[in-house]
Amino acid sequence: MESRCSETAADQTRNCPVPWISRILTMIVMSVVTALVLLALVTQAGIVAVQRAFPPQGGMVEVDGATLHVVDIGPRDGLPIVMLHGASSNLEAMRRPLGDLLAKDHRVILVDRPGHGWSTRARRQDSTPQIQARMIDDALGKLGIERAVFVVHSWSGALGARIALDHPGRVAGLVMLAPVTHPWRGGVGRYNEIIATPVIGPLLAYTVTLPLGYFVAEAGARSVFLPQTMPDGFVQDSATPLLLRPREFIANAYDLVTLKEAVAAQVARYGEIKAPVTVIAGEPDKTVKTNIHARPFAAMVPNAKLIVLPDLGHMVQNAVPDRVKAEIDTMIGKIVPAQAAAD
């Protein structure tokens, strides 16, 4: 005779128990939720610890859509130098050793790009060189910087080119270190695409990224230096752990996943750049390949000087700071007399 479940709640629980598979699924879901909550708490504690370890070193400049963190060092006379860092980093990656070296003789202005380091940006989607160029130009205007030599690395190669195109009056010269300038085959890492995905990306960024990042940050930084050896203490000296904060990790992912389309849109205009340009890149740079970016860019820009150094990886500013400074000094030495004659 077939048994029937009672209609009351108490009898239903007693006579019609939840199937075993439902119990297992419930336990799995509860375990996952508990783990995510714990990771979220660990992440919040980690954010506090990281920000205490690497506090802002400069001042803040308000622009439309962002608040930019700016460090201003060196003597105040002469033509200023503006330094812009690449992806997955902040202004400290440009400050040591190159920025400090340049500041012995020049005014050096280091900027955390919008959304990076201690700079904020209101919209994660404001990730393109075009938008960030406008923000940085605005900030420099508020700082009273009429013209400057821009020193840019990696991702900011596209940004430096865009500033020269859209705000040419601001650019006295452009020094590009292992720059990204052209579209490339392939993507920018599946994890960046996931982090830039709505809902899923923030969920991972606010739970998993920071705890996991502590274990992989040093290995990732070391790979970018190859074939050079990463300097001891680089991760701490460059304040790289700031990247692991969720809001910056998401901003960085947006910067990377939108970059290819952005450079494709500006490539045809490179011939319009009038400022003197020096491009310094290496062989073999496995992060940003010289044959895809530096060489064709230098061939398109009318007043460009290309320097390709053998056995040099991606971190040009760390590997050959004296050579970079010499090229910057040479450029300024030509610009200043020419400007004086024009005036």
Q: Average pLDDT, whole number, for the chain?
A: 92
Q: Are the CB atoms for 6 and 12 separated by under 8 Å?
A: yes
pLDDT tens digits, 283-292 = 999 999 999 9
Q: Read off the pLDDT of residues 219-240 as tens digits, 9 standing for 90 and up.
A: 999 999 999 999 999 999 999 9
* Cα 164 from Cα 307, distance rounded (Å): 20
Determine the 3-state secondary structure of 304 from DSSP: strand
C-alpha 33, offset from chain centre: 32
Using CA atoms, how far apart are residues 136 and 64, in angstroms rounded to an integer? 10
Q: Which residue bears the tokens 């980093």?
A: 89
pLDDT tens-digit map of 278-328: 999 999 999 999 999 999 999 999 999 999 999 999 999 999 999 999 999
Using a pLDDT cut of 90, give the percent of the chain over it.
85
Mean pLDDT of 65-82: 97
Q: How far apart are CA 275 and CA 287, in angstroms?
A: 27
Nearest-Å Rg of the Cα atoms of the chain is 25
Phi and psi angles of residue 82, each rounded to the nearest 5 degrees, phi first:
-105, 125
Taking the C-alpha atoms of residue 170 and residue 302, their distance in angstroms, rounded to an integer, is 18
Mark out the alpha helices in 96-245 (DSSP H runs): 100-102, 129-142, 155-166, 190-195, 200-205, 209-225, 234-237
| Domains in the chain: boundaries | 51-342
**The domain over range 51-342 is classified in CATH as 2.160.20.80:** no
* Measured distance between the N- and C-terminal CA atoms of the chain, rounded to whole angstroms: 106
* pTM of the model as a whole: 0.91
Q: What is the pLDDT of residue 31?
A: 74
- The token duo for 55 is 């506090």
What digits encode the pLDDT tens for the residues 166-183? 999 999 999 999 999 999
**pLDDT tens-place string over residues 96-126:** 999 999 999 999 999 999 999 999 999 999 9
What single-letter DSSP state applies at residue 169?
G
